[in-house]
Structure 1
Amino acid sequence: MEYRGFELSANVSMLFTEVPYLERFAAAARAGFTMVESRWPFDSPAPSTAELDGFSSTVLRSGVSLNALNFYLGDLAAGDRGVASHPDRADDLAANIDAMVRVAERTGTRQFNLLYGQLDDRWTPVEQATAALTSIRRAAAGVGAIGGRVLLEPLTEGQNGRYPLLTADDVMDLIDGPLDDLDNVSLLFDVFHLGNNGVDLITTASSLVSRIAHVQLADSPGRGEPGSGTLPIDATLDALRAAGYPGVVACEYHPATETTAGLSWIKDQQRST
């Protein structure tokens, strides 16, 4: 499935929620997607080998490829937005890297989104920055051994607690600063989050295209389908294409209705080209 010249993937943590999680991969295939992505699908950072292999087998049977996967996020419902910056969660993340690699070896996934984590007054800013950098380096080394890439993502200010990465520049300050010796850490360009934070999407897409390894789409306000809000999504994608972005664009939005019925925004574009 394509949109404005890009292959689309479906984020099955947000799309196809009409069916149980493990059925969403096949549902995405039936809807026309060939690629999917997902949050970490387990409550534990280190599930059993049987659980990991069962998940991988489900993906492989579904008819879609798993293009990207989140590292363990912590308890998302309770407000966690990653654990990399939390010194007391280093062992969890280390164990999650091993689990992630096992899934990647089975499914072929090579892009891995690592959320930084929220600031916490239990530790000093230096302690948290040190923990985050150590975690990112460890993750990059772990997935790098199989040719994988770590993605760092800004999130919307005011909706994700004290998450410190808000703009593309915040991420690039890490990548071009203390992480500049790593060649497998890149920016995740999330149109929804960056647009909410006032980032000039078109200019940023053009200027940082060589540093962007993955793109995610949702409109704002509401985090719905492209076209449901006011963000310049088409113009941003056109800027990415003109600048030479070679990757996949992920649908990471909350459908206003049943997922497949809500894909008309793609089909309308296809009919008009």
Structure 2
Amino acid sequence: MGYTDQRFDVNLSILYTELPLLERPAAAAAAGFTAVELWWPWIETPTPDQSELDALKEALEDAGTQLVGLNFYAGQLPGPDRGALSVPGEESDRFRANIDLAADFAQSVGCKALNALYGNRVEGVDPTAQDELALENLVLAARAADRVGAVLLIETLNKPESPLYPLVSAEAAIEVVDKVNAATGLGNAKFLLDLYHLAMNDEDLHAVITKYADKTGHVQIADKPGRGAPGTGGLPLEELLDQLAQAGYEGYIGLEYKAADATASFAWLPTEARAAK
């Protein structure tokens, strides 16, 4: 199959960051892409003013780009945080305040995937209590996502870069996915399969795809080492994406890698293959 048969989107929270947020959709469109994704764009608040939401919606529409993935509020990201939903106190409250607002914004722009980062372990707090809080909040998020016709994504991160994040294996994330689906009965919790993070955890990527492709709701890629564009490291990304497609995955593949020059970094992908099919 190859890269030309896949559906790609640009993560505008890690690429084109030298530009103001509202200019990034147009930059991705100028490079030939029609689909984009975002971490929660307003890291300082889970509840931005409606005018800010409207401005982002307008920027997406003016550029002709479809938002295909959005994070719920996740604390300081980029920064020290890796989510808020399992962190007791103010951060959990902020996550809950964000749930319906993020879901409603996703609905307003036709976004069908909402990612909920689990959050770091907190010193002095019982991990079991954090997991119970996480499940409560993920159930609320799954119901909100279902209300707007979206899936809820659960993501594995890598231990070297996120040592306090508890979901550092595909199996750990899948366990949470299954718990959320059992609690809600909705079946809309899915695995966010990030090949870079899994590779950094030394997982067998082919085995993960074989085992969990049917539970995967979104895919993200970067090469290893360095978290650069495909071809800058040693991961067989084209082969792995072919395997995903053969296993039945038809969703988007988010380009969540680092590049000093985003447009130049897309040289591995023919221009005619960048528009989402």
2: CA distance between counterparts of 1:4 and 1:217? Answer: 15
* Local SS of the residue matching 1:103: helix
Structure 2 residue 246 is the aligned partner of structure 1 residue 242: yes
Question: Where does residue 124 of structure 1 map in the other structure?
Answer: 126
Deviation of the 1:179 alpha carbon: 3.9
Query: How is 1:260-271 mapped onto 2 (pairs within 5 angstroms)?
Result: 260-267=263-270
1:253 aligns with 2:254: no
The answer to whether the 8 A contact 1:37-1:68 is kept is yes
What pairs with 1:33-48 in structure 2 (closer than 5 Å)?
33-42=33-42, 43-48=44-49
What percent identity do the matched residue pairs reach?
38
Deviates more, 1:131-140 or 1:43-52: 43-52
TM-score (norm 2): 0.92
Matches of 2:179 and 2:116, distance apart in 1: 18
2:154–2:177 contact (8 Å) kept in structure 1: no
CA offsets per residue over residues 111-150 of structure 1, 9 Å max, x none? 0111000001232112101111111111011121111111
Asked whether the equivalents of residues 8 and 35 of structure 2 are also in contact (C-alpha less than 8 Å), the reply is yes
TM-score when normalising by structure 1 = 0.93
Aligned to 2:36, the other structure's residue is in SS state strand
Aligned-partner SS, 1:260: helix
Find the aligned partners of 2:63 and 2:78 in 1 and give their Cα distance: 27
After superposition, residues 91-170 of structure 1 pair within 5 angstroms as 91-170=93-172
TM-superposed deviation, 1:74:
0.3
269 and 46 in structure 1: CA distance in 2 versus 1, 3 angstrom threshold: closer
**1:213-232 pair list within 5 angstroms:** 213-232=217-236
Equivalent AA in structure 2 for residue 200 of structure 1: D
SS in 2 for 1:183: coil
CA shift, 1:14, in A, is 1.2
Structure 1 segment 61-100 matched on structure 2, within 5 A:
61-88=62-89, 89-100=91-102
Distance 1:178 1:104 in 2: 20
| Residues in 2 aligned to 1:4 and 1:207: alpha-carbon distance in whole angstroms | 25
Equivalents in 2 of 1:250, 1:76: separation in Å? 17
1:19-72 deviation per Cα after TM superposition (whole angstroms, max 9, x unaligned): 222101011011110100011111200111222222222212221100000111
Q: Which runs of 4+ in 1 moved over 3 A?
A: none
Give the whole-Å Cα distance in 1 for the aligned partners of 2:190 and 2:29: 28
Closer, same or farther in 2 for the Cα pair 1:268/1:41, shift >3 Å?
Answer: closer
RMSD of equivalent CA atoms: 1.7
Say how many residue pairs are matched. Answer: 268
User: Amino acid of the residue matched to residue 267 of structure 1?
Assistant: P
Tell me the residue number matched to 2:27: 27
For 1:262 and 1:211, locate their aligned partners in 2 and report how far apart those are by CA, in whole Å: 30
**2:5 counterpart letter in structure 1:** G
What secondary structure, in the 3-state scheme, does the structure 1 residue paired with 2:105 have?
helix
Instruction: Quote the Cα distance in structure 2 between the aligned partners of 1:258 and 1:178.
Output: 39
- Name the aligned partner's letter for residue 155 of structure 2: E
Structure 1 stretches lacking a partner, 5+ long: none
| Larger relative contact order (CA 8 Å, sep ≥ 6) | 2
Indicate conservation of the 8 Å contact 1:157/1:163, yes or no: yes
Taking the aligned partners of 1:174 and 1:259, their CA distance within structure 2 comes to 34
How many angstroms does 1:269 deviate by? 10
AA at the equivalent of 1:198:
D
Is contact 1:8–1:251 with CA below 8 Å preserved after alignment?
yes
